[in-house]
Chain A
């Protein structure tokens, strides 16, 4: 089953469920077993990976699957591997493994920086990359990083394997391009290069909170010019948003504060920003402008060193 129905239902006023409905549990013996179970129960089975997002949803009865298929232990879904110019990360890789991996630290520094912001240690010890991406919370860090880094998401079903670009994967709040009978088996991300830089910022009231506004930026700078620039904003819209159009004036150009101001102004037209419980759209707009300008300055300063 797909979880985007949460958005439709929400928690009803006055409701205080904290115990899940009765469900069956199957620990998948293999990926094929998991896929078969999923296909057979496509409307009322949920995949259990880290469980750190799923279990609160189940506890509050925001989702009521009849079957949980546990895939968190499947070896084929684990592992962080360098494959040429790409890093392949298994869908059930835990956040703590990303934090501790020298491959990630070395080759995907943006991910490395972002993972530290995910919740708290106890959550990171269980939560998984695949689970995080599949939930697609718009305030989440890793979806934005995948968008900035132009990652590819591998989806597997009984019918076969397909790759979806991260930039096409996230559709709406809790809604992705995943089909109900698919498992997110891996994420493949191009490794950082010698002229690649990154910046990561998020605004939270408290350490570990979901971001109110965040930015994950991947850039390639050659001779002081932005050859590529991929800023992904999270927390502002219904999904991570990549700025593209507004960047045109500074692509291929040398860094200048005036150009940045121009871009910042047109950003507001490109990115749709929504009110949320603790922050109005106006407040977020201000933070978007501020973080964007700061990120570019930071990348520029680093590239000049």
Chain B
């Protein structure tokens, strides 16, 4: 591995220039002549039977090509049932692209109007008449879980879609002998992702060739290809998925959405290109939601402040269907297995339950259960420290798994290869001047000003292996690939299965290739996102990009390097060991003479083959793969701290500053890692303080617009200082782990802890997220 070069250098992203110039091409910028637009009419009821749909007036409206019901569409596809067989029994029901007889959530597509323009489709939609038989709906997670609740899927006989139990060690005995037991119940509000670019798809079916092309704002083109092909009865090689530039994913754009899928089926029915772009209002209604849990937690601590045992009971809401193909079980799964990871605990019991509700599906959204796991673990740690009158940093140092105690099986059974928690935590405490902040807090209390300091340690699961999804039957790859070509002029083209929604994967891959081949960054061009031109890949999710696709790129580039030297050796008749590549030139180690350039090699191999030895057929195209197989997740760690001030008259929280120390194994580009941290922290601040999907008792979303659903904006956000450590994984040569979600995973916990720290003089505590001003004032007894 080179000592100097591009790996580790914080270069700006070459591909960002186009975006900064406004020259990005997002889904709604793609133009295909003859494209029609589809508008989905959505159920106004959380649960109802469709008695009748009268579309005669709508069909006659100006510009309308078709008004399609759920029944009409059934002949074009097979409904899907999301299930993962590796997680035990999962009760799942087939989901249609548009409701056929029964609607199960407010916002579920029930009919589609296809017209020349979106406005005309909306005009016609207004003319479609529905007759409904409204049925009882179940909305909350607790109400869905009671034995006599209305059943979302009566044929399943229960609202419990899935449950799991972990029982390690001897929890009951330890609790029986405990010096102190601390109990809390945490509520985490349901929320949504709010990507600035909404979801969208442009489906084009060619009835003559029976090929389907999908331009889709997605994170996972190969996975979408597999699913769409299967459900539409096509072979995978009859489907092409092309990702344009994607304006934010965060996990939202991983899933099979009924409205997007219906668009593809409609294109097959009409044999025309059909476009669907979700508007903001239907994004709130129909994007997957996330979180929405209640967690009961108990820990037993010794007099000296050692955590001896932990019990976690997680109740989570799935919505009306399990999201396909990942299922909505992964959030509660990760709550169950990740809550105890940071700490040196032997006795652990967890149970997780997932219940159906008449709401939109929940699914994977940045952090996926781990923000909840961390909220619970770090909240309990602070509560225990308070109960023992111990400093919270000291308590943590006593309980974090020691840095030299790896590899290790965590209390939940998870394999932890190696973490640097103490190292990171110590850097954090020093960076934030923890003791100084506490002193300042003491001084300010005397002036009736209440600052709080909050800490959180994150153990973040990244780079999943096949045990998570594929082993359960989902067409999800934990493998990735990189194909490299040396062009005739010596430039390098890379096609990768990775995708990039702004995280910088394109640049990372280019940096790795450019350094390994010893060429300039700008001579490497990266292609992604098109299933026809890129090797099969897993896309971007679960912080897998650098770790998995980066490793594949490293392998491909290493092989290409060998090949180039080999060719030069054969052509120049020069000993291989004495050749090396510097700045795109093959040079002699002995005298530094340049023997050949990449351009010369390219020209000879592609055109002047008469100059090659007879038996020599060089391959200047290399594909290499890497699959992460051994670990369910490769765990990384991050320590976060926050300083804030609570206004005890209004309940407002002012975030003064955030600090984060992240260990992502190997830092390829510090700028990109820091920006993932910062973006992730601010997204998590949204969860902690502002964001919640609010429903009425009929299961109807009350705040589905940008006015009423509060996302973080610039004025209220703090500066976030980041530092990095490197504890490489042994799983790969590159050694990188993921880093994209750590900020989101830890910040809610840190903020909750800081608020509760600020309120300690008042004996007030919050455990219900989002931690709003009203909740703070209620905890202070100021609101009747």
Contact = CB atoms under 8 A, between A and B. Distances in A.
In their complex, do chains A and B touch, with some C-beta pair under 8 Å? yes
Interface of A: 11-22, 60-61, 203, 205-210, 277-280, 282-283, 285-287, 290
A13 B701 contact: yes
B783 A207 contact: no
Nearest to A293: B649
Interface in B223-245: none
Interface in B118-133: 118-119, 122-123, 125-126
B280 A18 contact: yes
Given A18-B122, A18-B281, A279-B774, 18 more contacts: A11-B281, A12-B44, A13-B44, A14-B42, A14-B107, A14-B700, A19-B118, A203-B652, A206-B690, A277-B694, A277-B703, A277-B708, A278-B708, A278-B710, A278-B772, A283-B778, A285-B783, A286-B782
Nearest to B278: A16
A15 B694 contact: no
Nearest to A210: B707
Given A16-B42, A277-B694, A206 B106 contact: no
B347 to A, nearest CB: 42
Contacts of B700: 13-14
B703 A282 contact: no
A10 B279 CA distance: 18
A287 B715 contact: no
A13 B783 contact: no
Interface string B750-784: 00000000000000000000001110011000111
B106 A14 contact: yes
Contacts of A208: 713, 715
A13 B280 CA distance: 14
A160 to B, nearest CB: 38
Contact of A290 (B649, B778, B784): B649
Interface size class of B (residues with CB under 8 A): 35 or more
Contacts of A20: 119
Contact of A60 (B281, B649, B650): B281
B702 A14 contact: no
A206 B707 contact: no
Contacts of A290: 649-650
20 contacts: A12-B44, A13-B45, A14-B45, A15-B42, A16-B279, A16-B285, A17-B122, A17-B125, A19-B122, A21-B126, A205-B773, A206-B713, A206-B715, A210-B707, A277-B702, A277-B708, A283-B651, A283-B774, A286-B783, A287-B650
B404 interface: no
B282 interface: yes
A63 to B, nearest CB: 14
B43 interface: yes
B650 A203 contact: yes
A205 B123 CA distance: 36
B777 A15 contact: no
Contacts of A209: 710
A66 to B, nearest CB: 13
Nearest to B42: A14
Contacts of A278: 708, 710, 772, 774
A86 B718 CA distance: 43
Interface string B623-659: 0000000000000000000000000011110000000
Contacts of B125: 17
A178 to B, nearest CB: 24
B716 interface: yes
Q: For the complex of A and B, list the 4 residue pairs with the smallest distance between their C-beta atoms, beginning with the closest.
A: A19-B119, A16-B281, A16-B282, A14-B44
B573 to A, nearest CB: 68
Nearest to B694: A277
B637 to A, nearest CB: 32
A157 B649 CA distance: 47
A18 B706 CA distance: 13
B690 A15 contact: no
A13 B106 contact: yes
A280 B783 contact: yes
Contacts of B650: 203, 287, 290
Contacts of A18: 118, 122, 279-281
Contact of B777 (A21, A60, A210, A283): A283
Contacts of A210: 707
A208 B281 CA distance: 21
Highest count of chain B CB atoms <10 Å: which of A13, A203, A205, A283? A13
Contacts of A280: 774, 783
Interface string B669-695: 000000000000000000000100010
Contacts of B106: 13-14
Interface string B535-548: 00000000000000
A210 to B, nearest CB: 7
A15 B286 CA distance: 11
A177 to B, nearest CB: 26
B107 A207 contact: no
A22 B690 CA distance: 37
Nearest to A291: B650
Given A18-B281, A279-B774, A207 B713 contact: yes
